[in-house]
């Protein structure tokens, strides 16, 4: 580049970095060469030399293929792009070790802000030094562990209570709960509490035999069918996340069990065109992502207030599966 315009590398650097006085005609020559050559400065190398933050924001999610996290990422990207920032996304695969590795790579790049959907059993106390140093940290969907930090969560407990109460209102008394694993996972724990709240409010016993865990779709479907073959089967199922719903819906269809009511937590693509349509407690993934980005940007703008937690409301969407009456 410097040879192309007949200038010193230092002068070209001043133009590209805007870090010193340069004559107008010199700036014009450099920028013309930039346009002609399609030159892109190495921001990472520049930032490492200068000790400054990158123009990127890092986002860590558990599963790239989950539609909820995909929508969250899209909302974060739209918000930070308006501020001239680029979004980098990495997956933890629900592994605390892999989450740490992805975070480490983002920190090495000196991202301007870090947003994390925590993996199960992860410890975030190791990020205290970065937080004290001014790095904006926001946790989505689940709160940080071992660290007081900004978070954006859905109304998990309230939503699960509403979904289970909906099944109770349609006559069901034995309602299975199919949740994620491990049972210590924040969203799983809160949704199970909401499920139990609804049973207690209706004066119904909580039968532990009706609570099962499954981390993937096939396991959720198989666990549900095992419950339905038991001596005292449930007449309805509350699926505590969209992955569970993705397993339960085809499993019930393959078994010809059109008599089992189902409410899922979190919506699914094409849920409305199923027969019957899938009744869900719908999260607002766009609102979750947007709120998280706004918190991070506020920190970038100098907000040094205490850690805040925002709760995004959920809504019940009746479509038919959750309105089926008990068989017999």
Please give the full DSSP string across 162-182, using - where no structure is assigned.
HHHHHHHHTT---EEEEE-SS
The structure tokens listed for 195 are 């499920």
Local structure of 316: helix, strand or coil = strand
CA distance linking residue 275 with residue 271, whole number of Å: 9
> Which of 132, 135, 102, 105 minimizes the C-alpha distance to 119?
102
pLDDT for 277 equals 95
pLDDT per residue over 297-314, tens digit each?
Answer: 999 999 999 999 999 999
Q: Give the mean pLDDT of 35-59.
A: 57
How far apart CA 208 and CA 234 sit, in angstroms, is 12
pLDDT at 42: 44
Checking 95-102 for CB contacts under 8 A at 24+ apart, the result is 95/119, 96/120, 96/121, 96/122, 96/123, 99/60, 100/126, 102/58, 102/60
The per-residue pLDDT for range 205-259, each reduced to its tens digit, is 999 999 999 999 999 999 999 999 999 999 999 999 999 999 999 999 999 999 9
φ, ψ of residue 141 in degrees (nearest 5) = 70, -35
Q: How far apart are the first and last CA of the chain?
A: 80
What pLDDT, on the 0 to 100 scale, is given for residue 46? Answer: 44
Q: What is the pTM of this model?
A: 0.81
Phi, psi values for residue 166, rounded to 5°:
-65, -40
Per-residue pLDDT tens digits for 21-43: 777 777 777 777 766 665 545 44
pLDDT value of position 202 = 98
- How far apart CA 132 and CA 141 sit, in angstroms, is 23
pLDDT for the residue 48: 37
**In this predicted structure, what is the pLDDT of residue 20?**
63
177-213 residue pLDDT tens: 999 998 989 999 999 999 999 999 999 999 999 999 9
136, 112 Cβ separation under 8 angstroms: yes
Would you call the peptide bond into 276 cis, given omega within 30 degrees of 0 as the criterion? yes
Average pLDDT over residues 96-107: 94
Tokens for 72? 């969250």
pLDDT, one tens digit per residue, over 57-98 is: 999 999 988 889 999 999 999 999 999 999 999 999 999 999
CA pair distance 104, 113, nearest whole angstrom: 13
For 125-147, letters b (16+ CB in 10 Å) and e give eebeeebeeebbbbbbbbbbbeb
* DSSP type of residue 302: T
Stretch 137-144: mean pLDDT: 96
Give the tokens for residue 117: 């959907």
Q: Which carries the bigger pLDDT value, residue 207 or residue 48?
A: 207
For a pLDDT cut of 70, what percent of the chain falls above it? 89
Is the peptide bond prior to 182 cis by the omega test (within 30 degrees of 0)?
A: yes
The rounded percent of the chain whose pLDDT value lies above 90 is: 76
E strands of 215-291, at which residues? Answer: 236-239, 261-265, 279-282
pLDDT digits (tens, 9 = 90+) for 257-266: 999 999 999 9
For residue 7, how many C-alpha atoms fall within 13 Å in the half-sphere facing its CB?
21
Nearest to 243 by CA among 219, 209, 210: 219
pLDDT tens figures, 155-167: 999 999 999 999 9
Question: What pLDDT is recorded for position 294?
Answer: 97
């Amino acid at each position: 580049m410097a040879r192309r315009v007949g200038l010193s590398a230092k002068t070209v650097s001043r133009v590209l970095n805007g870090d010193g006085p340069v004559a107008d005609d010199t700036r014009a020559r450099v920028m013309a060469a930039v346009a002609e050559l399609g030159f892109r400065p190495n921001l990472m190398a520049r930032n490492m030399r200068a000790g400054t933050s990158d123009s990127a924001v890092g986002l860590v999610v558990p599963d790239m293929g989950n539609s909820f996290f995909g929508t969250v990422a899209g909302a974060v990207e739209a918000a930070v792009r308006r501020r001239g920032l680029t979004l980098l996304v990495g997956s933890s695969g629900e592994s605390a070790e892999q989450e740490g590795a992805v975070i480490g790579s983002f920190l090495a790049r000196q991202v301007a802000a870090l947003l994390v959907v925590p993996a199960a059993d992860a410890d975030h106390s190791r990020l205290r030094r970065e937080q004290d140093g001014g790095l904006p940290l926001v946790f989505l969907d689940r709160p940080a562990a071992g660290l007081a930090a900004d978070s954006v969560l859905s109304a998990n407990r309230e939503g699960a209570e509403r979904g289970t109460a909906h099944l109770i209102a349609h006559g069901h008394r034995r309602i299975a709960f199919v949740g994620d694993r491990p049972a210590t996972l924040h969203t799983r724990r809160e949704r199970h509490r909401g499920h139990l709240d609804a049973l207690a409010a209706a004066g119904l016993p909580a039968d532990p035999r009706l609570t099962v865990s499954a981390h993937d779709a096939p396991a959720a479907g198989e666990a549900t069918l095992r419950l339905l073959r038991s001596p005292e089967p449930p007449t309805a199922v509350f699926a505590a996340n969209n992955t569970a719903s993705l397993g339960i819906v085809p499993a019930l269809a393959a078994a010809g069990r059109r008599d089992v009511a189902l409410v899922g937590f979190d919506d699914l693509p094409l849920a409305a065109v199923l027969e019957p349509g899938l009744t869900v407690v719908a999260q607002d993934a766009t609102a979750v992502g947007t709120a998280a980005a706004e918190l991070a940007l506020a920190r970038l703008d100098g907000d040094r207030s205490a850690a805040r937690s925002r709760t995004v409301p959920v809504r019940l969407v009746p479509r038919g599966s959750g309105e089926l009456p008990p068989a017999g």
